[in-house]
Structure 1
Amino acid sequence: MSRVVFILALLLLTGCEQYQQVKSGRNEVGSFSVTTEAPIWNSVPSGHSPGSLPTWTVDGVTLNSLSFVSGIKDGSPLVTVHDKSKYPVFHSDMLPNEIAELVQSTVARLFTATISRTGELKPLTISGQPGFELEFEFVTDDEVIRRAFVGGTVKNGELQVVVFQAPRMHYFEKDFGHARDLIVSAKLP
């Protein structure tokens, strides 16, 4: 009987994880160290974040999310999931366009979506490392067109990527400037 009560209490406690406001200043998220100017972001409990990634949001994950994909080693998928065979894996010798396709494929599978438009792959420097940036759009099952911005680099053979996504109408443009500033100014060890 006491074992059942303990398990029920544990289940209730895990369901009570709260969003936490991200404080202004320097914050450590995965391998990234990022600086926020104003406390507009909230840290999402891992059970509520896409792919169990460290994720921040302004308005809730259904309206926007900033996910930090860090320290991905050769042969690993970008997300933590039960069935890893359904997700493509990173290889340390991938070219930027291959990494961009890997990210898009992962986002499409994670959100049960179809990629509808891909922007131009451009160079981006993150923490002094040569990297890339990409914007793309995807359509989810509920027919919402979402837009994503990705900034990433490979450092010491490990993939480091940040993905900001939100519905194309209103929410993407509303927080894109803040998200891009965080990505561009991110520091890696």
Structure 2
Amino acid sequence: MKKNTKTNLLKMAAILIVITIISNVFIGYRLTPESAVKAVRFYPAEAPVILLNERINSNCVFYLVDAGEQYYTVYCKKTKFLWRGYVGSSGQEKTESGVELLNKFWVGEDVDAGWVVSISHDPEVRSIRIKSGDTVIQREAPLNQPVVIQIKTDDRSDMDVKFEAVALSSSDEVLYRLDYEINGNIVEMGKYGWIPERG
């Protein structure tokens, strides 16, 4: 009788483990961050192409994904031994001119940092510079290649009010500024991105 009870308990434990694994796989958990980012269910039918990845820490990796007609930003978080991808932004149709803001996001918890992700289609743009407090970060902006700049901050609101970003020419002339679009005296709150500095 005891042997049957023990066997039944082992069978139930095995069934519970299998159900847990299947449900975790179904909701997007994977063994590696690369497989987790590809398992995100928000992509269109076309298979996503990973353009770049940045390891934030041992438990978090940021990805920029090309899914055909749109870019997606995804960050993957590790929970115990499994990874899951979370869409940071989507629905951004590609353009072929100017500078695109692909995403501006902040990760709290043990990370406390923000990222600005852009891509330049303007051959005159050579670099992107961000000033946050006393910190100035400048990165080269190769044509049609994503540029990622990290801003260390423990306050999400800093990502909205406490940094300035400009796209520069080879002679450090400001070509674009990251800001809200302005029509006359009206700030278009829904239109935030890289605004040409020149008329």
**Please, what TM-score do these two structures have when normalized by structure 2?**
0.34
**Please, what TM-score do these two structures have when normalized by structure 1?**
0.35
